[in-house]
């Protein structure tokens, strides 16, 4: 499975769900939102644990990858806030719109900028391997249910220990690119602070 095709398919799915969200109302809207939340949590999880770590080291993709982690954080915060509501108020609708715009911006940047640069630093084999790893991690998470999505946040907070546990077996060689310090406990934590110092969202 090609990593880019897998991620693009996820993006299209979320876009469809956002269209559904627009036309739904009341509790049906909240149910569509729950689906969006589940999809986005799963998607950000596989990107953050498998795809982004392969792109963090190479110079060409470094900055965009750090920015992507930050954008995920914004999306996750909005998801948390939105999920507290029992019904869609006007404020909720406004916040859901902000979520949608954030996701659209992120998807656009990923597909038009990050993926293009990623193709230059990853080999065909890398792309295939990353896709397979993300696919099987998705299936694993779906089997274990929503536990994954909610557990992810705390797993991330407790940093390298749990992350390397889940990441280690899946880590890929990234041979064309991060040949040197690919063993660094990459990922959200460290990058996040460097990133915010460096540059805000555009």
> Least distance to Fe ion from the beta carbon of 76, Å?
11
Smaller CB separation from Fe ion, 47 or 56: 47
> Least distance to Fe ion from the beta carbon of 44, Å?
6
> Least distance to Fe ion from the beta carbon of 133, Å?
16
30 Cβ contact list (under 8 Å, min separation 6): 85, 86, 87, 88
* Other C-beta atoms lying within 10 Å of the C-beta of residue 112: 9
Smaller CB separation from Fe ion, 47 or 67: 47
Give the nearest residue (CB) to Fe ion.
47
- Rounded CA separation 33/35 (Å): 5
Smaller CB separation from Fe ion, 32 or 134: 134
Asked whether the CA dihedral 149, 150, 153, 158 is positive or negative, the reply is negative
Q: What angle do CA 51, 54, 58 make, to 5 degrees?
A: 135
> Least distance to Fe ion from the beta carbon of 183, Å?
24
Q: Residue 188: which of 84, 27, 111, 76 has the closest Cα?
A: 76
Smaller CB separation from Fe ion, 7 or 30: 7
Site for Fe ion in 16-55 (CB under 5 A): 47
Positions touching Fe ion (CB under 5 A) are 47
């Amino acid at each position: 499975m090609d990593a880019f095709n897998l991620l693009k398919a996820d993006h299209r799915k979320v876009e469809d769900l956002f269209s559904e969200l627009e036309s739904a109302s009341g509790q049906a809207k909240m149910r569509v939102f729950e689906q969006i939340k589940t999809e986005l949590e799963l998607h950000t999880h596989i990107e953050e644990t498998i795809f982004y770590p392969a792109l963090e080291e190479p110079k060409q993709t470094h900055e965009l990858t750090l920015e992507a982690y930050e954008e995920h954080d914004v999306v996750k915060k909005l998801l948390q806030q939105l999920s507290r509501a029992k019904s869609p108020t006007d404020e909720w609708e406004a916040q859901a719109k902000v979520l949608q715009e954030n996701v659209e911006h992120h998807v656009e940047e990923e597909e038009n900028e990050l993926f293009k640069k990623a193709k230059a630093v990853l080999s065909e084999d890398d792309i295939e391997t990353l896709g397979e790893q993300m696919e099987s991690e998705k299936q694993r998470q779906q089997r274990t249910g929503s536990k994954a999505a909610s557990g992810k946040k705390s797993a991330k907070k407790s940093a390298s220990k749990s992350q390397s546990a889940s990441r280690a077996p899946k880590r890929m060689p990234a041979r064309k690119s991060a040949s040197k310090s690919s063993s660094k406990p990459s990922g959200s934590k460290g990058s996040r602070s460097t990133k915010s110092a460096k540059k805000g969202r555009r």
